Amino acid sequence: MNKTDKNIVLKLRSAGVRATKQRIAVMECLSENSKHYSAEEIYDKLKEEIPSLSQGSVYHILDVFCEKGLAKRLSVEKGPKRFDVTDTPHHHLVCNESNEVFDYFDEDLTGLIKKYLREKPIQGFDVTDIELQLRGKRKV
């Protein structure tokens, strides 16, 4: 087991999730880069490596990860749901043409929103998380 796998095992166990081969592989796939995979893409990526993995298993694993706070489902207008595992507070850029989702890290922006909400709290609502989604066209 490599160092990445050990870190994933610790992360899963600390969230109260059994660290099975399938769960480790799904978390590794989600963590490997900043791409926000759909369940179908994860299944396609892992099916040869883990022949016993079914698409239903991937959906179940992702549900467990979301329930335990290990992943988030991203709201995208079209196409399949995508998933994110980045712990660092960030926002998302969604390309209207490709439906790709990109992480956008900007502490200043998050700070401005927090400051605004302190000065103008929303009546009857406690904000627990800030995640801004910006839509547009990716420049190549």
User: Are residues 62 and 97 both part of a single domain?
Assistant: no
Q: Return binding residues for Zn(2+).
A: 95
Does residue 63 share a domain with residue 16?
yes
Please tell me whether residues 80 and 121 are part of one structural domain.
no
Would you say the pTM of this structure is higher than 0.85?
A: no
What are the residue ranges of helices labelled H in 2-104? 3-14, 21-31, 39-46, 55-67
The pLDDT score that the predictor gives to residue 1 is 61
Residues 10 and 74 in one domain: yes
Domain count, the chain: 2
Distance of alpha carbon 21 from alpha carbon 66, whole angstroms: 18
Q: Which domain holds residue 23?
A: 3-84
Give yes or no: residues 25 and 61 share one domain: yes
- Judge if 15 and 74 occupy the same domain: yes
**Residue 99 confidence (pLDDT):** 83
d(C-alpha 37, C-alpha 52), whole Å: 20
Q: Are residues 15 and 35 in the same domain?
A: yes
Annotated binding site: 95
Which residue has tokens 């994933």? 8
Q: For position 78, what pLDDT does the model report?
A: 77
Q: What is the pLDDT of residue 3?
A: 65
Tens-digit pLDDT string for the chain (140 aa): 666 678 999 999 999 999 999 999 999 999 887 789 999 999 999 999 999 999 999 999 999 999 999 999 987 777 788 999 977 888 999 888 888 889 999 999 999 999 999 999 999 999 988 889 899 998 87
Same-domain pairing of 35 and 76: yes
**Domain closes at, from 40, 67, 84:** 84
Contact 60, 66 (CB under 8 A): no
